[in-house]
A and B are shown apart, each in its own frame.
Chain A
């Protein structure tokens, strides 16, 4: 990045075009969220009207609160399980079926969400589980756990094994060595994994719509059902808030991962 001044005109043009392609729609959405007009496509001057409208919309607020709760709990469970899986894969003895285990762990990364959602729905129906907060949380945990595992495992892989050995040599049993040395060193990756899981859960529509029940719609489901009746400018306001939240989370996650790389050999892939 330090060589930015040496970029040619062509580089600058292609960079600008690419960024515009990615971010112009979002920028327009943000601008139109401050639109005073009732029509989405007609500019009627600046206003915070639709933000007021959103905060007065009980159903929408409830959906947002539901989404945040699901995202926080599923991210926490996924981080716990994903970290344990990463530790088992990179630190454990070469147990039987290790390759199969890691393959199965990473399958949700490439599995179409429709299939994950449908199969979970079938499972919940078969178990006769009441669909709502917990079913969505469990479903999102299965979706995001593999992402946490990937992030943490790559950090563990770049850690020098002799650090743990040195801790044991200096009087730690294996568990204490992990807690005293390995855990602090992979903590930034764990934090980054949590944030990743949080954002993934927050914007998931497909799996949530399969696994949720009546009266417990998440924000994306709620937005989607509103949009089907025509886009209200209020949606723009909600989306702007979601974008802001996700941007903050992503920035923190990348800062955490940067911190982790400055402390150790290499960064978590974020």
Chain B
């Protein structure tokens, strides 16, 4: 990789660049943005602040409005309502070429009639840079994405990974204040995707640029982004760090969308200090920690991630005083799914439901592995449970 890019001229020669935001102010502020296609409300009142230097991911199932939101940031769609402030200036109705924002397209959208060099130089020529400056900047970009020697190739003479790099270099060449990435890794195979994830993160950190990525792949979002906005039906369901999203999902839908989870529906029965006992239909009474925001009586779901469910033959050996506080569920192994690093056991509970437990295969030879129809105790601690409104 090359040396640090000179960062002094970022705003000086970026076309249409507004002033950089003051410290503490968000770079991008989305205020109540909505977009309707016909009768379909694709984006429905989204408000979001993005700080400078952030790597933000918009995550959601297909049709949730994440791509429409991204296209509104790029200027390909105009919002029906709301404002989009970049560095304090409303750009909601500005045309794409008037915004100091660049986008990397899902299918890369490389110009097939131009060489790698001309593709990267395309935006620089429109910015009326001097010929020598364009050549320098293109060389910088080519080195940055490690495409040396391929400058004279046409896009159809490149591999998928190389095309992805050209698209990235082309989008970065104008040094945008904000880079939008629409499913940038969807077309790559798994191994290449993983290494490219790392390179993108490294690049973002080194350039100190603000990235917004749209993805339907939660692992990708978790790996790369410092904050994730989960979208559903045109609305932001939760904006949180990857860890918070996984460990403290705000709703049942998010809990199920992000990762695997066991859910037990029930009603709160009694309060024991800072603990809550919830009677569930499928797993009996479960003891959980009182959520941060206190909950009243009513219907709840107890959620527990599979890797936090432990299995043992006889039940946990616990300190006598805490024995009642630990959730112990008797059952038999119904299904075993070996995944290499982990094994997922489906346990049919005597109480009626099933619970999934994910166990790390920490030893190569596991003499204690469970087998189907074996009686086991699935147990977990109250603080590993999340209480969600039903």
Contact = CB atoms under 8 A, between A and B. Distances in A.
A162 B95 contact: no
Contact of B109 (A165, A180, A184): A165
B174 A170 contact: yes
A260 to B, nearest CB: 10
A185 B110 CA distance: 12
A167 B76 contact: no
Interface size class of B (residues with CB under 8 A): 20 to 34
B174 A171 contact: yes
Given A160-B107, A162-B107, A169 B113 contact: no
Interface stretch (B4-12, B52-60, B119-127, B367-375): B119-127
Contacts of A184: 113
A263 B109 contact: no
Interface string B325-366: 000000000000000000000000000000000000000000
Contacts of A166: 103, 105, 109-111, 170
B111 A169 contact: no
Given A162-B107, A165-B96, A165-B105, A170 B113 contact: no
B112 A264 contact: yes
B68 to A, nearest CB: 14
Interface in B89-120: 95-97, 101-103, 105-107, 109-113
A166 B75 CA distance: 11
B288 interface: no
Nearest to A183: B113
B105 A162 contact: yes
Given A165-B76, A184-B113, A185-B112, A170 B107 contact: no
26 contacts: A160-B107, A160-B109, A162-B106, A162-B107, A165-B76, A165-B109, A166-B109, A168-B75, A168-B76, A168-B97, A169-B74, A169-B97, A169-B101, A170-B123, A170-B126, A170-B170, A171-B97, A172-B126, A173-B95, A173-B97, A181-B111, A185-B112, A263-B112, A263-B113, A263-B156, A264-B112
Interface string A257-270: 00000011000000
B15 interface: yes
A163 interface: yes
Nearest to B105: A162
A160 B109 CA distance: 8
Contact of B96 (A169, A180, A185): A169
Given A162-B107, A165-B96, A171 B112 contact: no
Contacts of A181: 111
Given A160-B107, A160-B109, A163-B109, A169 B126 contact: no
Pick the 3 closest A-B CB pairs, nearest first.
A171-B126, A170-B123, A166-B109
Given A165-B76, A170-B123, A170-B126, 12 more contacts: A160-B107, A163-B112, A165-B105, A165-B109, A169-B75, A169-B101, A169-B102, A170-B97, A170-B102, A171-B97, A171-B126, A171-B174
A165 B70 CA distance: 13
A163 B74 contact: no
Q: Which of A166, A172, A180, A181 has the most CB of B within 10 A?
A: A166
Interface string A130-162: 000000000000000000000000000000101
Contacts of A264: 112
Q: Which of A166, A170, A176 has the most CB of B within 10 A?
A: A170
A2 to B, nearest CB: 21
Contact of A168 (B95, B107, B171, B174): B95
Contacts of A173: 95, 97
Interface of B: 15, 74-76, 95-97, 101-103, 105-107, 109-113, 122-123, 126-127, 156, 170-171, 174
A180 to B, nearest CB: 8
A168 B102 CA distance: 10
Nearest to A162: B109
Interface in A73-91: none
Nearest to A262: B156
A167 B156 CA distance: 18
Contacts of B112: 163, 185, 263-264
Q: Which of B106, B109, B127 has the most CB of A within 10 A?
A: B109
B109 A172 contact: no
B250 to A, nearest CB: 34
B154 to A, nearest CB: 8
A181 B112 CA distance: 9
A167 B170 CA distance: 11
Contacts of B123: 169-171
Interface in A90-123: none
Contact of B15 (A162, A165, A171, A176): A171
A172 B109 CA distance: 15
Contacts of A165: 74, 76, 96, 105, 109
A136 B303 CA distance: 80
A263 to B, nearest CB: 5
A2 B122 CA distance: 39
Nearest to B173: A170
Interface string A161-198: 01101111111111010001100110000000000000
Contacts of A171: 15, 97, 123, 126-127, 174
A237 B53 CA distance: 77
Interface in A55-72: none
A258 to B, nearest CB: 15
A160 B112 CA distance: 11
Contacts of B105: 162, 165-166
A169 B97 CA distance: 5
A62 B30 CA distance: 71
B122 A170 contact: yes
B170 to A, nearest CB: 7
A156 to B, nearest CB: 14
A242 to B, nearest CB: 35
Nearest to B106: A162
Contacts of B122: 167, 170, 180
A263 B155 CA distance: 10
